[in-house]
Structure 1
Amino acid sequence: MRGLTGLSSSEVEEKLRIYGFNTVPEKKESTLKIFVKKLQGLTAYTIEAAAVISFILGRYIDAAIMILLLLLNAFIGVLHEQRAGKAVEMLKSRLKIVVKALRDGEWRDIPSEYIVPGDVVKVRLGDIIPADGVVLEGHLLVDESTLTGESMPVEKNPGDPVYAGTAVARGEAIIRITATGPRTRYGRTVELVEAGKPRLLIEEITSSITRWLLAVDVFFVVLVVVRLLITQTPVVDALPFTLTLLIASIPIALPAMTTITLALGSVELARAGVIVRRLEAVEAASMMEVICLDKTGTITENKLVVKDIIPLREGFTEHDVILYAALASEPDGRDPIDKAILEKAGELGVDLGSVSVMEFKPFSPESKRSEALVSMGGRILKAVKGAPQVLVDVDTTLDRERFNEAVRTLGDRGMRPLAVGVEENGSLRVIGLIGIYDKPREDSQRFIEEIKSMGVKPVMVTGDNYYVAKSIARSVGIEGRVVSLKGVPREELADLLDSAGVFAEVVPEDKYEIVRLYQSKGKVVGMTGDGVNDAPALKQADLGVAVSNATDIAKSVASVVLTKPGLGNIVDVIRLGRVVYRRIVVWAINKIVKTFQVVYFVSASTLLLGAPILTPTHMILMLFLYDFVTLSISTDRLRPSSKPEKWNVRRLVKVSVILGLVKIAELFLALYLGLHVLSLQLEQARTFVFYTLLTSGLFNILNFRETGWFWHSKPSKVMTIALTTDILAGTIIAWKGWIIQPIPPPVILIAFVYTVAVTLILTDAVKIAVFKLFKYS
């Protein structure tokens, strides 16, 4: 639109002062409210009940210790949640919608939060509209489903309103912004990162394990209560003890552990150039078995050049072919093919200035062509360029054999053929082919091999023809049949999945269907993409990956967004996803074994002795110290599996039960050592067992983090510090008699040496044997 200059810098500053940034402030809970929530729930209520009962019985010190530990645990939980929240905020800040706005008479790339009312903005296919506005010129087809739920795109012409958060499905237009931030129709701009925490498979699995443990615990608690009543223990004395047995079964650290582990894993990926939009993406990455790879920009460099020009009609030269191709290209567009053609036209000295472009229609995935209505030498005609298979069906006068041979030749040489045509008086003639070359990245073959070595099947999915796809796949090491989907019935597609390594000549619906069919076969599927046509498949995939140059629409539906080109980040996603998975598995094994150590051993020993071997104070103190360390598992350096992970709950429980029984045997031996060899009184024996239980549980973390001997890999610095701090704290508490009965240093040393011997040697040897027996690797 001539004469349109947009806003000046001073006007933008004034409007920012008046209207604020084009964002909607998120409602955040206060720290105090989060803290209070930590004092609610089954675990907190059980501890509070035990404290109240202790207070009523006059055990004021026990009650005070329970409340103090509960408050301290809530405080630590708040700190960890805030850290996880900051991690998500950091990730959100990495994903910015950039808008092309007219400022001071120039088109500039402006972050969407700096858009103000009155701004003139250009939007096109693949963009997300940053704020409410009205169309000034151009035509759009807009997907408003995110706002209205209506699946059909809505046509927008000059004078029509457009809304923040909607996506441009077709066309290009200039709009004037009318409302920003909270003043938009729905009170917000589009958010590219979802901070909400979904229900994860990992949470469901660990919760089901916990429910099973709790059911068994209730059985043991009933037996203990009966035993205490038989020995005429007052009910008011037995009640705090039974409550704390139940506390030991409740996963105090589960919510924090899952969130923190996934959030910190997301931060690690962000450092590697991967932005995680949804936390479940990390989980999906660990289990992914098939990755559907887009060719352009992922496997190849996405630096397109015109490598070959083939005229196909008499009277038309290479110069003519590139001229008409350039006329059908958008000069200020972002399409890499258009840029390559215009650069080649410049190299060949093609003069575009003498031709008047009257109307231009950009490329769309549906038509697979772009065209321009031009005035040339007094003639009105259309310059057309597009997919060979599209244009050849229109031109009935073309020598098909020669055309197909030329397409095949370009494809065999790794080039993408593009047909160029001239339409005059309603008749389209294909005048030539252009070979667009996008060579594979130097590191693509290496990363493809890494992906295969991880047990993930790479499948190339591309709109290019059979020959180009075959050439590229061969050069980077993608194995399997090369299948052209042109003309293949949808019902036959499922039979091709197992043998195919490349799908060529696909349309957007094919990409979606390929992902869905793999999933119907029970596969966990990843999909990479960059354009509007990739969005349905990205959304359907278990792990949707928007590559570095993806459109806003692709980013908005993907699970993760890459900030670096190539396949390296995808390898990072798989590797770190499996590390995060292992962290949670290690936590689950420790949880089950700890329940055996604390609940079942304490219950069994109480049945044997007729009196609790640990008091409620002992147990709550130990559980607090132990859970403090288990949170550090979320930072641990674990070795990723060499194959996709799968939850095998039965195997996990069997492994944990065997190890738990071994730990019970070791603890009964320690109890015998304390009572009969060291001849400790009951109160001192309780401290001896408390210290042995604590150190044994801490050393278990070192054991279970490795499938081999515990010394095969070093724990993270955070875990090392947490373990050392806990052992020192437990030693000082047992020695000085803080809260519990003191025991002499020689007795502490005996307990420590015993624990090291049975846990880091005996338990570790049993663990290796059990892992081999159940093929746990």
Structure 2
Amino acid sequence: MSSLRGLTKSEVEERIRKYGLNVVPERKESLLKLFARKFTGLTPYTIEVAAIISFFLGRYVDFAVMVALLLVNAVIGLVHEQRAEKAVELLKSRLRVIVRVLRDGSWEEVPAEYIVPDDIVKLKLGDVVPADGELIQGHLIVDESALTGESLPVDKNPGDKVFAGSSVLRGEAVVKVTATGLTTRYGKTVELVQVSKPRLIIEEITSSITKGLLVADIFFIALVAAKLVLSRTSILDLLPFTLTLLIASIPIALPAMTTITLALGSLELARAGVIVRRLEAIEAGSMMDVICLDKTGTITENRISVKEVIHLTEDYSEKDILLYALLASEEDAKDPIDRAVIEKASEEGVSKDGVELVEFKPFSPETKRTEALVKIGGVPVRAVKGAPQVLAEMDGSLDKQRYEDIVREIGGRGERPLAVGVEKGGVFRVIGLLGLYDKPREDSPSFIKAIKEMGVKPVMITGDNYYVTKSIARMVGIDGKVISLKGMPKEEIRSLIDSVGVFAETVPEEKHDIVVALQEKGHVVGMTGDGVNDAPALKRADLEVAVSNATDIAKLSASVVLTRPGLRNIVDIIHLGRRVYRRIVVWSLNKIVKTFQIVYFVAISTLFLGLPVLSPTHMILMLFLYDFVTLSISTDNLRPSKKPERWNLRKLVEISVVLGLIKIVELFAALYIALDYLALPFDQVRTFVFYVLLLSGLFNILNFRETNWFWASRPSLPVALSISGDIIVGSILVYGGWIIPSIPLSAILLGFIYSVSVTLLLTDVAKLFVFRVFGAV
């Protein structure tokens, strides 16, 4: 059994062998099942039907190409899903819950998965309960809503049970662990670390585009089918052609492309010290135009020191003030204010010798103070330290005007005032003030400058004193009004919201109100937080960021967790979010325009000619080659915008339609060259059109990835290699004649020159004109 010394190392190892690690293993499907699933769904079913028909018609080349397309897509999709899954596992492994546990007579910190039954653990405000246990000391108020659905907090006293996955809202306690992992009460339903995968706006946009195109595609395909039936085309020839045209209208690579983009983005951020717990954070990062920042430990270093001690009455010396501040501090706490008080007291030779601790009440966001009931020489004394305005309300004899003047002076020097009080014989007095100094982080001014240049407004929200908050804000470059919310009605907050840069003396509920007010004004809001008091505002914000020193609750409720001190990584989130946005825009433009190129051009030309201008083999080959380029978009080095992004689906469609019509004109010109200028046989005309259409579709990526000239930035290596590879393979196919009819080398050269000069260069000129008229997307 555990004693006050806790378990020994050998006892821990024995229990790990017996009970296993404190984890809930996930049920995972086999690779075979995952692979088989790649052959289900609208796109695979359509290709499979077309392949079966081709096989029974003796079109074995078409059949082989379709099967290859299915297999390659399935393999690529599976490989990248596995990469995405590994990315999630990496994020989980880095987002560990750390627990204070008593072992071999001393308190140490260990990851939650190494907690075993009979361990003695210490829980405090902001902790996530790592395992089932029984309170043996202290008092807690916990949130069990994630387990039971009950929203009201629950009191826990010695002898009561606490359950893994619940959150500590208030108090501090020592707990003896009774069950871990799957043996906990809610073990099968709770994971301490979760990475959610909600539906994204990006997915909704691409889905809307796809559905809209599919309706138009089916209309054109029906027209072509009717025309071919009237011209007495065999139904056995008609079916493969119409099915292949339908396949061309479906975004085969979209699911994999979205998955790869976000998975690679998460890994990229993880390497930079950012853990993405919810993928919508990347999306929110692209659109965020306001970010609400906490001050302490975020903009400042959170290395607090006591710079000065000011006594308010001659009855108590500076050492007396330090003593009572020390009594109201925890020796083994991680709280930076407690550490600063303990260090200053040690420097001045002040100690707790001869003092008996009766009861200790730790700091809470609601009371904004710490209290200790002690006995000095057998006499009960209550020592209190906390926010100056809170302690001032407890002292009826205080000279409020003089007190406020001193508080203002301390704040004006960039120090944070901390009040110290004592209660003797039922009378409470504020006896002094400590000037705490927490200097701004060296990178805070550059971070503020960087996000302002990116079109994101920084807003500081803090519970600290008005004057010190104003001083720090000006040091780091935060603009706008500085206001105190003390006593300010919600309506007034809403009216001032756009002009304010700093909100001081706030309470947790007001942080939430500020975020709501900003959102009601149409802003996409980011919020940084480090504790339980930030949870309401974090949950409401569009981008929730837990800083590196945040509590477990804050980290596990945020969409993004920073693993390095400071906020510089938020710039990485914004940059990546905007790059992902650009990748989806490029995909959307490419998809709509390519639908014009393949489906509408093929349909219209077939209506005019009475014969399909491309065979099913041509179209399947083209889709097969396009697949690799489409997937490579997820890796492209696109330049992020200098301002927050906003989805404008109407503008995107308008621009795509204009560019698509231009592409149709270019392709009809190529068809004319093949029919009249080169006077090729119709089988070779199809191959010539296939070649120009292939190159034109590949050049779409180069055209649309830049809002400037296409050469303004270099594509990523995968994009460059996939485009180059497709051009080489396409050229070999049209020359060799193994799968499709070959065309003369002169026709290939003419097709290449035409594609580069018209579908790349001329289209780029047209693109710039269209962007000038409609505005870039």
Same fold (TM over 0.5): yes
**How far apart are residue 648 of structure 1 and its match?**
0.2
Aligned residues of 1:92 and 1:192 also touching (Cα < 8 A): no
Give the aligned partner of residue 348 of structure 2.
348
**CA deviation vs aligned residue, 1:620-678 (integer Å, no higher than 9, x gap):** 22112112211111111111111110000011011111111111111111111122222
Give the aligned partner of residue 680 of structure 1.
680
Aligned residues of 1:193 and 1:278 also touching (Cα < 8 A): no
Distance in structure 1 (CA, Å) of the matches to 2:228 and 2:385: 88
Distance in structure 2 (CA, Å) of the matches to 1:384 and 1:165: 33
Indicate the percent of aligned positions where both proteins have the same amino acid: 67
Equivalent residue letter for 1:591: K
Distance in structure 2 (CA, Å) of the matches to 1:603 and 1:31: 40
3-state SS of the aligned residue for 1:77? Answer: helix
**CA deviation vs aligned residue, 1:276-319 (integer Å, no higher than 9, x gap):** 00001100110111100011111111110111211001221211
Give the aligned partner of residue 417 of structure 1.
417
Give the aligned partner of residue 616 of structure 2.
616
3-state SS of the aligned residue for 1:414? Answer: coil
3-state SS of the aligned residue for 1:299? Answer: coil
Give the aligned partner of residue 154 of structure 2.
154
3-state SS of the aligned residue for 2:428? Answer: strand
Aligned residues of 1:121 and 1:177 also touching (Cα < 8 A): yes
Cα distance, 1:319–1:2 mapped onto 2, change above 3 Å: farther
3-state SS of the aligned residue for 2:341? Answer: helix
3-state SS of the aligned residue for 1:256? Answer: helix
Segment drifting more, 66-75 vs 735-744: 735-744
Aligned residues of 1:597 and 1:693 also touching (Cα < 8 A): yes
Give the aligned partner of residue 661 of structure 2.
661
Distance in structure 2 (CA, Å) of the matches to 1:188 and 1:292: 37
Equivalent residue letter for 2:620: I
**How far apart are residue 459 of structure 1 and its match?**
0.5
**CA deviation vs aligned residue, 1:331-380 (integer Å, no higher than 9, x gap):** 10011000001111111111222322222111111111101111223422
**CA deviation vs aligned residue, 1:94-121 (integer Å, no higher than 9, x gap):** 1000111111222111101111111111
Give the aligned partner of residue 55 of structure 1.
55
Say yes or no: does 1:597 pair with 2:597. Answer: yes
Cα distance, 1:82–1:502 mapped onto 2, change above 3 Å: same
**How far apart are residue 173 of structure 1 and its match?**
0.9
Give the aligned partner of residue 769 of structure 2.
769
Segment drifting more, 735-744 vs 112-121: 735-744
Output aligned runs, 1:94-133, within 5 Å. 94-133=94-133
Distance in structure 2 (CA, Å) of the matches to 1:652 and 1:739: 37
Cα distance, 1:340–1:18 mapped onto 2, change above 3 Å: same
Equivalent residue letter for 1:527: M
Give the aligned partner of residue 606 of structure 2.
606
Give the aligned partner of residue 496 of structure 2.
496
Output aligned runs, 1:199-278, within 5 Å. 199-278=199-278
**How far apart are residue 190 of structure 1 and its match?**
5.3
Give the aligned partner of residue 436 of structure 1.
436
3-state SS of the aligned residue for 1:374? Answer: strand
**How far apart are residue 197 of structure 1 and its match?**
2.2
Give the aligned partner of residue 555 of structure 1.
555
**How far apart are residue 575 of structure 1 and its match?**
1.3
Give the aligned partner of residue 645 of structure 1.
645
Distance in structure 2 (CA, Å) of the matches to 1:516 and 1:236: 61
Give the aligned partner of residue 295 of structure 2.
295
Distance in structure 2 (CA, Å) of the matches to 1:11 and 1:695: 68
3-state SS of the aligned residue for 2:102? Answer: strand
Segment drifting more, 693-702 vs 373-382: 373-382
Distance in structure 1 (CA, Å) of the matches to 2:31 and 2:673: 48
Give the aligned partner of residue 713 of structure 1.
713
Distance in structure 1 (CA, Å) of the matches to 2:591 and 2:614: 19
Give the aligned partner of residue 6 of structure 1.
6
**CA deviation vs aligned residue, 1:541-578 (integer Å, no higher than 9, x gap):** 11000001000000111010001111211111111111
Say yes or no: does 1:35 pair with 2:38. Answer: no
3-state SS of the aligned residue for 2:527? Answer: strand
**CA deviation vs aligned residue, 1:124-166 (integer Å, no higher than 9, x gap):** 1110010111111111111101101111111111111111110
Aligned residues of 1:192 and 1:555 also touching (Cα < 8 A): no
Equivalent residue letter for 1:351: S
Structure 1, unmatched stretches of 5+, are none
Give the aligned partner of residue 187 of structure 1.
187
Over the residues paired in the alignment, what is the CA RMSD in angstroms?
1.5
**CA deviation vs aligned residue, 1:504-551 (integer Å, no higher than 9, x gap):** 111111111111222222221110010110011111111000001000
- Give 4+ residue runs of structure 1 displaced > 4 Å after superposition: none
Give the aligned partner of residue 198 of structure 1.
198
Equivalent residue letter for 2:133: G
3-state SS of the aligned residue for 1:518? Answer: helix
**How far apart are residue 84 of structure 1 and its match?**
1.4
Equivalent residue letter for 2:430: V
Distance in structure 2 (CA, Å) of the matches to 1:187 and 1:725: 51
Say yes or no: does 1:375 pair with 2:389. Answer: no
Give the aligned partner of residue 400 of structure 1.
400
Equivalent residue letter for 1:672: Y
Aligned residues of 1:23 and 1:189 also touching (Cα < 8 A): no
Cα distance, 1:163–1:3 mapped onto 2, change above 3 Å: closer
Distance in structure 2 (CA, Å) of the matches to 1:398 and 1:760: 79
Aligned residues of 2:484 and 2:505 also touching (Cα < 8 A): yes
Cα distance, 1:421–1:410 mapped onto 2, change above 3 Å: same
Aligned residues of 1:420 and 1:433 also touching (Cα < 8 A): yes
**How far apart are residue 214 of structure 1 and its match?**
1.0
Equivalent residue letter for 1:260: I
**How far apart are residue 493 of structure 1 and its match?**
1.9
Distance in structure 2 (CA, Å) of the matches to 1:676 and 1:15: 84
Aligned residues of 2:91 and 2:276 also touching (Cα < 8 A): yes
Equivalent residue letter for 2:647: W
3-state SS of the aligned residue for 1:297? Answer: coil
3-state SS of the aligned residue for 1:423? Answer: strand
Distance in structure 1 (CA, Å) of the matches to 2:2 and 2:90: 41
Aligned residues of 1:293 and 1:459 also touching (Cα < 8 A): yes
Distance in structure 2 (CA, Å) of the matches to 1:190 and 1:549: 24
Give the aligned partner of residue 285 of structure 1.
285
3-state SS of the aligned residue for 2:561? Answer: strand
Distance in structure 2 (CA, Å) of the matches to 1:192 and 1:689: 57
Distance in structure 2 (CA, Å) of the matches to 1:88 and 1:605: 48
Equivalent residue letter for 1:578: R
**CA deviation vs aligned residue, 1:579-626 (integer Å, no higher than 9, x gap):** 111111111111111111100111111111111111112112211211
Distance in structure 2 (CA, Å) of the matches to 1:2 and 1:363: 29
Equivalent residue letter for 1:178: T
3-state SS of the aligned residue for 1:292? Answer: strand
Give the aligned partner of residue 17 of structure 1.
17
3-state SS of the aligned residue for 2:381? Answer: strand
Say yes or no: does 1:46 pair with 2:75. Answer: no
| Alignment length (residue pairs) | 777
**How far apart are residue 746 of structure 1 and its match?**
2.9
Give the aligned partner of residue 724 of structure 1.
724
Equivalent residue letter for 2:30: S
Equivalent residue letter for 1:280: E
Equivalent residue letter for 1:120: I
**CA deviation vs aligned residue, 1:706-741 (integer Å, no higher than 9, x gap):** 111111111111212222222222122222223211
Equivalent residue letter for 1:749: L
Distance in structure 1 (CA, Å) of the matches to 2:32 and 2:615: 32
Cα distance, 1:426–1:738 mapped onto 2, change above 3 Å: farther
Aligned residues of 1:95 and 1:192 also touching (Cα < 8 A): no
Output aligned runs, 1:324-343, within 5 Å. 324-343=324-343
Aligned residues of 1:299 and 1:441 also touching (Cα < 8 A): yes
3-state SS of the aligned residue for 1:296? Answer: coil
**How far apart are residue 435 of structure 1 and its match?**
0.9
Distance in structure 1 (CA, Å) of the matches to 2:130 and 2:629: 45
